[in-house]
Amino acid sequence: MFFKKKLNHENVESGDFPLKSNHPDVVFLDNACTSLKPREVIEGISSYYSEFGSCALRSVHKLGKQTTTAVDHARKKISQFVGLKKAEEVIFTRGATDSINLLCRSFQWSEGDEVIISSLEHNSNLLPWIALGEGQRVNLNIWNIDKDGRFDLKELEALLSKKESKLLSLCSDSNIIPIDLPLAEIISLAHKNDVLVHLDASQTLLHRPLNFNDLNFDFMSFSFHKILGPTGIGALCLKEEHYDKMKPAILGGETVVNVTNKAYVLSDPPHCYEAGIGSYAEIFGAVKAIEYIEKIGYSQIQKKEEELSLLMQEGLESLRGMTFLGPGLNSHLVNLYLGEMDSGELSILLDKNYNIMTRAGVHCGHYWYNQNQLNPSLRISAAFYNTESDIQRLVEALQEVSKNYL
């Protein structure tokens, strides 16, 4: 046994995650793509269909009212989870991509405005801004983060100090490499230059808290499927005062209070930003995901993930042919190359031969890979419900692949 420490998993019951029970041989290390779902979340989704089954905000019958109350409760719960004061500061979306597109298209830009993003952004926080630049006179500036995760704050400060800069949109954690951005300093710099800050928190909230109270940013997007919740539901969270700078880009059911043949009167936010019927079942599941995270507690989650990171570090750093992308190994997320082996082939070998689920490719970070002239790589991403045995199997598998297939 090459591991020095034993893990403590007393807060995560073995039956909490049905997928793990149904596939006991599978090691799931693709958590940066999507997380596993606790039983409560699955039951929460099911409870909407079996116990509520109605439309919120529209129907006055008792099932409709119950659904409205439950959705209002969910909005409140989410606003508290991210440190916002009012439930109205949470807009339900289909996910982080939808949230960022909504912000991008609803914000009232002026000609010549500039948006700053980092080079490490997921396509969901890059493509909407590129597209915005094509359609309107909004320019995109990209702050460079190199292949080792190094960055220059002075370069960012220079971009922020341009009078045209309007919004800084950054990931709080990357899905490609582990990176520790000094968010407090960056946000302070941005605000000093009258630049608003949007954080893409998709890769953060499964692992650590991030809230408006602590960091004073302006907008935040995330997807629930990455934080134990269902797919197809996310949120754009914002401070209430920023609604003044926005106008809904998508209109439809429940976005208006009155309509004539030439005009309409918008509902109050957040409803005017939620056109069409809501994803109620997913909202029910999302609340259960937050409750599950609160039950385990971020301190326990972080403690477990630190232990798992240490085990990965111990097991992987001495493997033949292994090279790592980014600043190093001290994270639940590791991005690597094994010799010259194709990352797709490696991922398939790990799946077929060892039942280990990983992710290969450029991880929706085409720009960063192209800019740094990097080949597609293999990403291993652990979460607090992974076990010592999972990491041991991964290390043993990579040892065998390194020995036999390189």
Q: Report the distance separating Cα 347 and Cα 349, nearest Å.
A: 5
Shortest distance, position 362 Cβ to another protein, whole Å: 4
Q: Does 359 bind another protein (CB under 8 A)?
A: yes
Interface with another protein in residues 105-144 (CB under 8 A): none
> Residues 52, 72, 211, CA angle at the centre, nearest 5°?
130
> Residues 251, 252, 258, CA angle at the centre, nearest 5°?
95
Using the minimum distance from each CB to another protein, give the nearer residue, 301 or 346. Answer: 346
Using the minimum distance from each CB to another protein, give the nearer residue, 184 or 348. Answer: 348
If phi > 0 it is left, if psi is from -120 to 50 it is alpha, else beta; for residue 57 that is left
Return the half-sphere exposure (C-beta side, CA atoms, 13 A cut-off) of residue 399: 13
DSSP state of 48: I
Q: Report the distance separating Cα 186 and Cα 188, nearest Å.
A: 5
Helix (H, G, I), strand (E, B) or coil at 280: helix
Shortest distance, position 359 Cβ to another protein, whole Å: 7
Q: Does 342 bind another protein (CB under 8 A)?
A: yes
Cα 179–chain centre separation: 14
Q: Does 240 bind another protein (CB under 8 A)?
A: no
Helix (H, G, I), strand (E, B) or coil at 26: coil
Shortest distance, position 125 Cβ to another protein, whole Å: 16
Contact assessment for residue 8 and residue 304, using Cβ atoms and an 8 Å cutoff = yes
Q: Out of 343, 381, 386, 387, point to the residue binding another protein (CB under 8 A).
A: 343
Q: Does 340 bind another protein (CB under 8 A)?
A: yes
Using the minimum distance from each CB to another protein, give the nearer residue, 130 or 348. Answer: 348
Q: CB neighbours of 290 closer than 8 A, spacing ≥ 6?
A: 77, 78, 81, 227, 229
Which string of b and e fits 304-343 if b means at least 16 CB within 10 Å?
A: bbebbbbbbbbbbeebebbebbbeebebbbbbbbbeebeb
Span interacting with another protein, options 249-257, 269-277, 287-295, 352-360, rule CB under 8 A: 352-360
Shortest distance, position 225 Cβ to another protein, whole Å: 16
Using the minimum distance from each CB to another protein, give the nearer residue, 131 or 215. Answer: 131
Interface with another protein in residues 360-389 (CB under 8 A): 360-364, 366, 369, 373-376
Using the minimum distance from each CB to another protein, give the nearer residue, 251 or 341. Answer: 341
- Beta bridge partner(s), residue 360: 378
Using the minimum distance from each CB to another protein, give the nearer residue, 163 or 352. Answer: 352
Shortest distance, position 265 Cβ to another protein, whole Å: 41
Using the minimum distance from each CB to another protein, give the nearer residue, 12 or 96. Answer: 96
Q: Does 404 bind another protein (CB under 8 A)?
A: yes
Q: Does 403 bind another protein (CB under 8 A)?
A: yes
Using the minimum distance from each CB to another protein, give the nearer residue, 321 or 328. Answer: 321
Instruction: Give contact residues for another protein (rule: CB under 8 A).
Output: 340-345, 347-349, 352-353, 359-364, 366, 369, 373-376, 400-401, 403-406
